[in-house]
Structure 1
Amino acid sequence: MAVFLKSLKKSGHLEKVYITICNVGSRKVNQQDDYATQGWEIFAPRLNIYGFDADLDACDRANSDLKHRQVNWKEKHIPIALSNSVGLSTLYVTQHPMCSSLYPPNEIYLDRFTGLPELVNLDFSIEIETTTLDDVCITEKISEIDFLQIDVQGADLQVLEGASKILSKSVLTIQVEVEFSELYSNQPLFADVDIYLRKHGFTLFDLTKAYRRRRHSPIHSTVHPGQLLWGDAFYFRDLIEENLNTDLKNPETILKLACIADVLEFSDYALELLEYLTINYGDDPNYNFASDIIQSLSQFPELVDRGLNSLPIVQRIYKLSNLDSIE
């Protein structure tokens, strides 16, 4: 749950925050795949969401659902396969369509684990046209992307390689699925993705982890729940790094980054960014978040019991707030 956004919304600080999300591999498998359930709706109506998926039917279902719900933000799902080049590629359609990939499943390896062959083994393959995210941004007139989420079953690095221009221009945060072993034959692995994103100015903040046990083993450890095979990697820009030289280092963009960090529940980073803005740009009321920070921290009973006045961060920013006192 976001810590600061409710207060920022109430104080009017979100009125000039426009968020654009791009979801590559946007098939909605369950309710948790809907951005409205994840807290992003707080930015509506200044919220744009673009979904891309090779599955036409999945895009049609998502668009029909949005029309039925009459959402108050802009969201559309476009049936396009994204890669690092424009041309023809083979799509390997798996037993469960959500596992389909531009790489063939590594069936011999998959068979060693529980629950994977039934999902990832090959059903059939077809030829499809691919394009790049940079090209799509031109045709769809997408001038910036703030949060980029990618889940395309092993081909995630290809999508990133085809997005180098928009990455450099605007992307602040990336959530990307990564694999630690070749679930798909000859696919790039986490190390390859990590090297690429670090070269583009992103820092790894966290990894969710998915493990699988050996299929034929009657035992498993309570300490190690199997082999780590894949996960979601979260990358952020550090726009308050002292020696950073980029046009993105401005208060408007840093605020946007703080908002994204908060909705993704990286609350300590969101707080660091909001404090930085308050101390360095707090003379401008648009970037003075002292009162919002203190009021948000008061949600935590353990901090109130300690005394908010005793917190170093409160001591640094209290004089910039409009609060008469702190309980």
Structure 2
Amino acid sequence: MDQVTRHVPALDHLVAQGLLNDDPFVLIDAGCSGGIDGIWRHFGRNLVAHGFDPQKSECRRLQERESFPGVHYHAAFVGLPPDDPFVQGKSSMDREVMEYFNPWNRLSTAYAYNNFTRARAQSNSIGEDLVDEVPVRIDDFIRDEKLERVDFIKIDVDGPDLDVLRTTRDIVRPCGVLGFSLEVNFTGSHYESDNTLHNTDLIMRSMGFVLCDLSIRRYSRAALPAPFLLNMFAQTRFGQPIQGDAVYLRDIASPQYRKLWDEEPTPSQLLKMVGLYEMFRLPDLAAEALQVWRSTLAPLVDIDRLLDLLTPPLNGESLSHADYLARFMEDPTRFFPEALKPKA
């Protein structure tokens, strides 16, 4: 999750004040190899997380070294069963059309991986360690675990991400889901069942979420390989946009929020949204939410204190939210790049 900031003073303040003690933050992480991201641990003992990965040994390792009592790892594939109509419908997609819109086999990353024997051997050994059960639906898991609330869902399963997303639609409103982080593909066809950004975006908007961030990972063609950005066969310095991570959140400060969601957010949801906005480098959305819902939250927390914690320095000068805003209102040109150059 390279879209988050590790500096979250407003969220840290909310947790330190015990404002989430009665309503833990619940995370579903589909594709948790390596463990849940450290950013979620800012919720402290208020964190409840369920991570899924198909490697049995990886889940055992993660659980053995886990220090948070509310974090659980499950060895399972997540998604739709093979006999689901949506999965069955993929068989009618024209393979040549699919391959035209997905150049994966022509990428330098694919060439390097397929011809690097150690990587292939590792892949074969991993296959022996995978669970062989039918994929778990997220909505079924939530019902079986009797989870009344789920705050955030992250999906990154290297393939059937759209299938996994479809298993969340029935629990978004009953469980009060506040946001998603999704791996998305910029490549792909026009087919409705293809795992593409445009199909993902349609589902997310239909559920009431707005796109708040989008990263881009480029992959070069094997005809002219670009340097890798990491010490692994992955994204490259130049090339076609192939994948990225999309963050979708509720726009809780919108004047139309009640109409879209047909509900009044709870104080706890509002505070969690402030934390999520800050976490995903959206302090402006967090500030707007605090201003819109000031009367609801004022009995619980010092709103002006939170606004000050969210306010970034201006040209190296630390300012209160009120002073920062006054600078902009008096002269917005102070926010031009030339005005923000370091002083000599």
TM range (shorter): 0.7 to 0.9
What residue in structure 2 maps to residue 47 of structure 1?
47
Percent sequence identity over matched residues? 21
3-state SS in 2 of match to 1:167:
coil
Match of 1:204 in 2: 211
1:249 corresponding residue in structure 2: 265
Q: Distance in 2 between matches of 1:137 and 1:86?
A: 21
Specify every segment of 5 or more residues in structure 1 that has no aligned partner in the other structure, as ranges.
89-104, 316-327
Counterpart for residue 56 of structure 1: 56
- Alignment of 1:130 onto 2:135: yes
Aligned to 2:313: 300
Q: Kindly report which structure 2 residues correspond to 1:92-241, keeping only aligned pairs within 5 A, or say none.
A: 109-119=103-113, 128-169=133-174, 170-182=176-188, 187-217=194-224, 225-241=238-254
Q: Corresponding residue for 2:80?
A: 84
Deviation sequence 1:84-118 (CA, Å, 0-9, x none): 34869xxxxxxxxxxxxxxxx97993231112244
Q: Is the 8 A contact 1:20 1:49 kept in 2?
A: yes
Q: Is 1:75 aligned with 2:71?
A: yes
Residue pair 1:17, 1:43 contacting (<8 A) in 2 also? no
Cα shift at 1:73: 4.1
Indicate which of 35, 38, 45 corresponds to 2:37.
Answer: 35
Residue of structure 2 equivalent to 1:323: none
Counting matched residue pairs gives 285
Which digits, 9 at most, give the CA deviation of each residue in 1:38-91, with x for residues without a partner? 2x222221110100122222211211221xxxx244111111222134869xxx
* Contact persistence 1:147–1:260 (CA under 8 A): no
Distance 1:257 1:313 in 2: 25
Q: Give me the whole-angstrom Cα distance separating, in 2, the residues matched to 1:231 and 1:257.
A: 23
| Counterparts of 1:257 and 1:197, CA distance in 2 | 17
Cα 1:200/1:59, change in 2 over 3 Å: same
**Where does residue 276 of structure 1 map in the other structure?**
292
CA contact (8 A) 1:2 1:267 kept: no
* AA matched with 1:257: M
Q: CA RMSD in A?
A: 3.7
More strand by share: 1
Whichever residue aligns with residue 145 of structure 2, its letter is E
Q: Could you say which residue in structure 2 is the equivalent of 1:100?
A: none
Matched with 2:277 is 261
CA contact (8 A) 1:51 1:77 kept: yes
TM-score w.r.t. length of structure 2? 0.71
Could you tell me how far apart the structure 1 residues matched to 2:327 and 2:147 are?
Answer: 39
Q: Structure 2 unaligned runs (5+)? A: 1-6, 85-97, 115-119, 228-236, 329-344
Q: In structure 1, how many angstroms separate the alpha carbons of the residues matched to 2:110 and 2:225?
A: 17
Does the 8 Å contact 2:277/2:285 carry over to 1?
yes
- Paired amino acid for 1:200: M
**Which digits, 9 at most, give the CA deviation of each residue in 1:123-142, with x for residues without a partner?**
67996412311111111222
Looking at structure 1, the residues matched to 321 and 104 of structure 2 have their Cα atoms a distance apart, in angstroms, of 53
